[in-house]
Amino acid sequence: MEENCVMNTYGRYDVTFEKGLGCKIYDTDGHEYMDFVSGVAVNCLGHSHPAIINAITSQSSKLIHSSNYYWNTTHKLLAKKLIDNCDHSKVFFCNSGAESVETALKIARKYGTLKDTEGKNVFIYMDSSFHGRTMGALSVTGQEKYQKDFRPLIEGTREVKFNNVEDLKKNFDEKVCGIIIEPIQGEGGINIASVDFLEEARKLCDKYDALLIFDEVQCGMGRLGSLFAYKKFSIIPDVICIAKALGGGFPIGATITNVKASTALVPGDHGSTFGGNPLGCAVGVAVLTELVDGGVIDKIEDKSIYIRERLLKIKEKYDVIDEIKGLGLLIGISIKTDTKKFCKACFDKKLLVIAAGNNVVRLLPPLNVTKLEIDEALDILEVVISES
């Protein structure tokens, strides 16, 4: 039935999931899978977390949606909770990662428009990056396979080699209004930005009065062991894009700015019908409360070390692994065999993992995963590696 009426935009596994609990997800035949995809870094508290269920039930019985023509209580609470945990001052809410990127791009374009420099409207983006599927986000996504059939893309973009300071310097000038960087490239293969590169980006943004945008849609919201990814790099961006884990499974995104960037947009410049609705924001507050006040984030480093040590031991035993990459609970295993086949072999053994880039297998467990669950997942992974 699905094949008849659902648009063919995804390469899907032949499985239908109907319920989940914690790290486990169950298909319609009752098979149990260990979920180390977490809806691609979304289900940060696992499935059916009571805090999320409570937020949805209690808020939906009061007010699900009103309109951005009016204030609502949870909108303010979530904005405050985000701001209290970063160096920034204003939040714009939307519903997805791509929208949070679109917002950031519009902020930077408007910021440039308000300056005296003629044509200050150029975006710099990185090769191997991924920022989403909408036309603006796609135009700054440095992967030909995503862009090729959708030209013309938006004008005024320059691609720079990731972590290449010289290339960055060469492409930066007074026409640049913003530069967008993932502190860790997720879809591109778990590539970590070097501190040198980020420092140079910060310096050039200050020199040419452009906005430094960090896309933390995948690597933010606790995944690296701090609520915001930029804290792990000690470089403060002007604009931060978040989504995915912010709602723990409920669709919500946000763009966060410092004072300088926040003044660019004025009423009428930008908006979103659903953005910041009472239900989404109530869920966001519940998620942040668990992550920050509930101590989930504090335990990530320890779990990360635990996974890595075990993976390094597996790497020593089997030649198929090239490298263990990533930070916190955003972990990549670069392998010498076909990643698609590898992920399918894990799936057949009831472990969900996902590919990134050309040769990397991504592990994205829920942030509250236990060491027992890590062991269970890595036992399966080791069997697949031994058979690869």
Binding-site ranges for ligand PLP (CB under 6 A): 40, 96-98, 101, 130-132, 182, 186-187, 215, 217-218, 243
Decide whether 180 or 314 has the Cβ nearer to ligand PLP.
180
Decide whether 335 or 364 has the Cβ nearer to ligand PLP.
364
Decide whether 321 or 363 has the Cβ nearer to ligand PLP.
363
Given a contact cutoff of 8 angstroms between Cβ atoms, the answer to whether 333 and 325 are in contact is yes
> Which amino acid appears at position 222 of this protein?
G
Decide whether 215 or 238 has the Cβ nearer to ligand PLP.
215
Q: How far is CA 150 from CA 8, 101, 153, in A?
A: 17, 18, 7
Nearest distance, CB of residue 215 and ligand PLP, angstroms:
5
Decide whether 187 or 376 has the Cβ nearer to ligand PLP.
187
First-to-last C-alpha distance (Å) of the chain: 35
- Spatial separation of the C-alpha atoms in residues 239 and 386, rounded to whole Å: 44
Decide whether 125 or 342 has the Cβ nearer to ligand PLP.
125
Token pair for 205: 């943004």
Nearest distance, CB of residue 358 and ligand PLP, angstroms:
16
Nearest distance, CB of residue 93 and ligand PLP, angstroms:
14
Nearest distance, CB of residue 47 and ligand PLP, angstroms:
19
Nearest distance, CB of residue 340 and ligand PLP, angstroms:
18
Decide whether 352 or 385 has the Cβ nearer to ligand PLP.
352
Q: Under DSSP, is residue 338 helix (H, G, I), strand (E, B) or coil?
A: coil
Beta strands in 182-238 (DSSP E): 184-185, 191-192, 211-215
Pairing mode, strands 191-192 and 184-185:
antiparallel
Nearest distance, CB of residue 251 and ligand PLP, angstroms:
8
Token pair for 278: 């009472």
Distance of alpha carbon 164 from the chain centroid: 23
Nearest distance, CB of residue 301 and ligand PLP, angstroms:
22
Asked whether the CA dihedral 104, 107, 111, 117 is positive or negative, the reply is positive
Q: How far is CA 357 from CA 83, 129, 296, 328, in A?
A: 33, 10, 29, 19
CA triplet 171, 137, 128: central angle to 5 degrees? 60
Given a contact cutoff of 8 angstroms between Cβ atoms, the answer to whether 326 and 184 are in contact is yes
